[in-house]
């Protein structure tokens, strides 16, 4: 018996009961998945509450159901140099085979099976996706597609100059001759003193 999924995971569960399990049968769908948790990398991700769009095609094959999809989403984050907001369009193609569920005692249902630590595990088989009855879990291929399309260090532009380390203003907004006078720390205590001669 499969474990109950969380509310966030249920967003990605798709029931294929309309698709006959005869090789060559095909169905197409358009999905708008409003995700409940962000998907992406630490500095840029598709935020919770946003929609991931899928143009989905499912085809019955001998081993299971072949999923082909065009994915579209908008990821949001901050430029690592100037901290300005960044939006990145994610457009990816997905193709995965979801195998029909194996025997009940094999323990491989629904999602990608977890990797074991044993050296003799067949890693290729370990990454396979499995149907859970008529339900396929779309989260693994969607998450992989989004993460692989995002930069680890997002930039607002390739030539972003970042921030002035002294005043924190954007270099792009500052005049070309902008600079700060450097004072030797050993003499910093004398900076406020007035050394002008005074009349007695």
- Give residue 109's pLDDT: 45
Least confident of 52-61, 122-131, 169-178: 169-178
Is the pLDDT assigned to residue 108 strictly greater than 80? no
* Tokens at 10, concatenated: 């249920």
Cα separation of 83 and 81, whole Å?
A: 6
The stretch 66-78 carries a mean pLDDT of 97
Please give the structure tokens belonging to residue 160. Answer: 């972003």
Question: Strand, helix or coil at 144?
Answer: helix
In angstroms, how far is the first alpha carbon of the chain from the final one? 98
**Mean pLDDT, to the nearest integer, of 12-37?**
94
pLDDT at 57 over 90: yes
What's the whole-number mean pLDDT along residues 163-188?
A: 62
Rounded CA-CA distance 191/183 in Å is 8
Q: What is the mean pLDDT of residues 150-158?
A: 91
pLDDT surpasses 50 at 116: no
3 state DSSP class of 146 = helix
**Element of type H or E holding 13:** strand 13-15
The token pair at 91 is: 């457009």
- Residue 188 token pair: 């910093």
């Amino acid at each position: 018996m499969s474990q109950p999924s969380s509310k966030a995971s249920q967003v990605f569960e798709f029931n294929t009961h309309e698709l006959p399990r005869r090789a060559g049968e095909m169905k197409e769908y358009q999905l708008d998945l409003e995700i409940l948790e962000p998907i992406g990398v630490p500095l840029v991700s598709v935020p919770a509450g946003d929609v991931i769009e899928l143009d989905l095609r499912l085809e019955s094959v001998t081993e299971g159901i072949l999923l082909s999809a065009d994915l579209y989403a908008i990821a949001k984050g901050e430029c690592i140099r100037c901290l300005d907001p960044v939006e990145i369009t994610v457009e990816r193609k997905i193709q995965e085979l979801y195998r029909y569920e194996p025997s009940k005692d094999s323990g491989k249902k629904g999602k990608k099976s977890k990797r074991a630590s044993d050296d003799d595990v067949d890693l290729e088989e370990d990454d396979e996706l499995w149907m859970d009855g008529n339900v396929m879990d779309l989260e693994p291929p969607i998450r992989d597609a989004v993460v692989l399309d995002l930069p680890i260090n997002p930039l607002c532009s390739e030539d972003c100059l970042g921030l002035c380390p002294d005043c924190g203003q954007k270099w792009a907004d500052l005049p070309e001759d902008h600079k700060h006078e450097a004072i030797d720390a050993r003499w910093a205590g004398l900076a406020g003193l007035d050394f002008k001669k005074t009349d007695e």
